[in-house]
Chain A
Amino acid sequence: MSRVILLNLLRFITLVFIQVFLLKNISLYDLSTPYLYILFILILPFETPNLLLFPLAFILGLTIDAFYDTPGLHAMACVLLAFVRILFISITVQKEGFDNEPEPTLSLMGFRWFFTYTLILTLFHHFFLFILEVFRFSEIQYTLARALLSSIFTVFLILISGLLFYKSKERK
């Protein structure tokens, strides 16, 4: 149990660092900006109680906001992300038949499930984030294009990180 907490704390710090000091400076043609930090919420253990999941998402969002100078924006998107995560998992996953403390990672759940999961959750988060950031109807076309291209970039990075930490023994 304490191992899980330590691991997730480490993940939190690493992802925030990568997001703020590396990915914040990356932007393809002013269109595509990745937000890899949502990976933290995506791969929290299945067993995480809702009462813990929402505060974690909220704190992660606020931390990113502190560095991006957008108080509340990322927090809102992250809380929405946590909610969609709960819905998606309750629909697609049966919780029996796992080892203790399973996490929805690529190596455990297989490529097909993990890809759908990542894609849907990222799309929700990014569209909400970008539309809220611009908050203007006249640029809607451009905003949607940015959200879509950024989602593709983020999903790409998440899949790569999933492959990087792939454990072949985990799958049964």
Chain B
Amino acid sequence: MRNLLIFITKYNAFFLFIIFEISALVIYIKYNSFQKATFINSTNQVTGNLYARVNQLKGYMSLREVNDSLARENASLRGQLKTSFYIDSVAKHKVIDTVYKQQYEYIDAFVINNSINHRNNYITINKGSRAGIAKGMGVICPQGVVGKIVFVGEHFSIIQSLLHKETIISAALAGTKDLGSFTWSDNMDPHAGLLYDVSNSASPKLGELVVTSDLSLFPAGVPIGKISNLHSKTAKGSFLNMDVTIAVDFSKLQYVYVVDNKFAAEQLGLEAQQKKDE
């Protein structure tokens, strides 16, 4: 017994190393699962608030760019107003519109933490379950697709960015509506992505827009990027592969919209029922 104690004190560095390394490993394995259900991350009050403070400061530096992009968005929205269309028929009756029901609602949020240079990138935003955000919702910004919500706190949420090795989005060519899958490229360039599994009969053009398809959790037609190379060197899937330049500049991301699909619950419920029946 005494010899054992002497042995342990003599090599205490090694034993301490083993103890702490194993406890860190346990934390790593346990909390780095996909959902990241943990308090050691930036939805935590302390780190979340610190990030929010620093971002308030940072926000001042890019006020001009934000103003410009808001003005541009305003202009394009104004273009869609009814008042900006010429009406050439005289309305006789007031019709209560039952054809259009609101399917998507948008919750605006401010990015308080963002990274682009890791293999798996996450974005933290300043709205959480109190603002009506739930896990699995899509996130877009004026330029295009941003990612999807993976973890929701009371005041903050975490987005799994498009720049993440597990993010795969159902995409389509804007012109011909040919379906494919979009994922981030392997070489960690924040501006490059890969569109794969496009059917061999499709005839994509260089510079053609890639948008979200009807099958994704985003509204159909949100831009993802533009085709920059028709025959990608990356071998993935057995059909056409194309390199894509991502539309969103993730390094400058500030304001995002969380997409709340009002019919998502109904759709998921139906699909779950169908699986049960089979």
Cβ-defined contact, A57 with B20, below 8 A: yes
Interface 9-residue window, one of B22-30, B171-179, B206-214: B22-30
Min CB gap B268→A, angstroms:
27
Q: Residue on B with the closest CB to A24?
A: B115
Known contacts A71-B28, A72-B24, A72-B32; A79 and B17 CB within 8 A of each other: yes
Cβ-defined contact, A142 with B187, below 8 A: yes
A54 at the interface (CB under 8 A from B): yes
A116 at the interface (CB under 8 A from B): no
Contact with B along A57-72 (1 / 0, CB 8 A): 1100110011111111
Cβ-defined contact, A58 with B31, below 8 A: no
Min CB gap B13→A, angstroms:
5
Give me the interface of A with B, judged by CB distance under 8 Å: 21, 24, 27, 30, 33, 50-51, 54-55, 57-58, 61-62, 65-73, 75-76, 79-80, 82-83, 86-87, 132-134, 139, 142
Please give 20 more A-B residue pairs, beta carbons under 8 A apart, in addition to A30-B117, A69-B42.
A24-B115, A30-B187, A30-B190, A54-B16, A66-B44, A68-B115, A71-B32, A72-B27, A72-B30, A72-B31, A72-B32, A73-B28, A73-B32, A75-B28, A79-B20, A82-B20, A83-B13, A139-B186, A142-B186, A142-B188
What are 13 A-B contacts with C-beta separation under 8 Å? A54-B16, A58-B20, A61-B24, A62-B27, A71-B31, A72-B24, A75-B28, A76-B28, A79-B20, A79-B24, A83-B13, A87-B13, A142-B187
